[in-house]
């Protein structure tokens, strides 16, 4: 019972997805900027929801768009509680510094290895097994659902949150840059004439959306409270069992497993997962 309670408390801390943000922003477009009409649209949508994750996702997106606590946030939060959610109001969770991704920390607060000889831009190679065994040994888990924790191998929350309740599992995010042309991804001025101020798309969010479509992100699970590598590192990876090269990737982020859902918005809901061996 204690294990199940700990896991459930951890999973109560949900994160919204890109589509939640879009649905909430649509309120202002459809209402012409009339807030009371936005509230009515929110209530109509909430009445149709039967999934707790969707309800709290919309509440968190509303807190992000409208700021803190208001009628629209309350509508979706109350619906989520009606469907079984037991976590704190979304504004409180979003302001909790524990949920900050490694990439959002100031550079001086980001994790740095004690030994800098294997720094960014250099790849670490293992020895003794021939060319195909170069790099970091990892075992593929298949696609990992960052919200539920499910993968073809096992559920990462059930497996590692219960075995390591002290948050001693870290999720590293890696990007495969091979063959990807990112020159089209750039900041553009966004016209705001005739559009509600809360709806004006933030350039970074638009860039994040494009990156999710063109970058191939991976997650690699560690067995420690800190990541093994640091943001900016470029590393080679090989299959732990057959020695085949898996890829050469660049590390872009990290977060404790308990807060893995924070990766959904910037990187997507389902990513290829691996574990260090």
pLDDT at 8 over 80: no
Domain assignment of residue 56, yes or no: no
What's the pLDDT at 65? Answer: 81
- DSSP at 52: H
- Structural domains of the chain, count: 1
What's the pLDDT at 212? Answer: 55
Mean pLDDT of the chain: 77
Domain assignment of residue 52, yes or no: no
What's the pLDDT at 105? Answer: 86
- Residue by residue, DSSP assigns 162-192 as HH-TTT--EEEEEEE-TT---TT--------
Read off the pLDDT of residues 75-99 as tens digits, 9 standing for 90 and up. Answer: 999 999 999 988 888 766 666 655 6
Domain assignment of residue 78, yes or no: no
Which domain does 161 fall in, by range?
Answer: 109-180+215-277
Q: What is the rounded CA–CA span in Å between residue 104 and residue 100?
A: 6
Domain assignment of residue 240, yes or no: yes
Domain assignment of residue 75, yes or no: no
pTM over 0.75: no
């Amino acid at each position: 019972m204690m294990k199940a309670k700990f896991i459930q408390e951890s999973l109560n801390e949900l994160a919204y997805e890109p589509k939640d943000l879009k649905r909430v922003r649509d309120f202002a477009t459809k209402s012409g900027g009339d807030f009371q009409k936005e509230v009515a649209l929110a209530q109509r949508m909430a009445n149709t929801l039967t999934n707790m994750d969707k309800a709290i996702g919309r509440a968190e997106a509303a807190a992000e768009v409208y700021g803190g606590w208001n009628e629209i946030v309350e509508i979706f939060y109350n619906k989520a509680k009606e469907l079984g959610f037991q976590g704190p109001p979304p504004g409180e969770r979003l302001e909790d510094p524990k949920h900050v991704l490694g990439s959002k920390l100031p550079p001086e607060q980001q994790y740095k290895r004690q030994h800098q000889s294997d720094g960014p831009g250099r790849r670490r190679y293992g020895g003794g097994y021939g060319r195909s065994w170069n790099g970091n040994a990892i075992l593929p888990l298949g696609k990992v659902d960052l919200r539920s924790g499910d993968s073809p191998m096992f559920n990462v929350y059930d497996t590692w949150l219960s075995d390591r309740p002290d948050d001693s599992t870290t999720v590293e995010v890696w990007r495969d840059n091979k063959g990807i042309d990112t020159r089209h991804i750039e900041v553009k001025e966004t016209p705001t004439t005739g559009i509600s101020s809360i709806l004006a798309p933030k350039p970074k969010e638009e860039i994040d959306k494009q990156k999710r479509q063109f970058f191939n992100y991976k997650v690699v699970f560690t067995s420690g409270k800190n990541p093994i590598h640091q943001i900016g590192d470029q590393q080679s990876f090989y299959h732990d069992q057959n020695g085949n090269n898996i890829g050469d990737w660049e590390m872009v982020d990290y977060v404790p497993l308990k807060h893995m859902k924070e990766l959904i918005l910037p990187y997507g809901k389902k990513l290829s997962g691996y574990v260090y061996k």
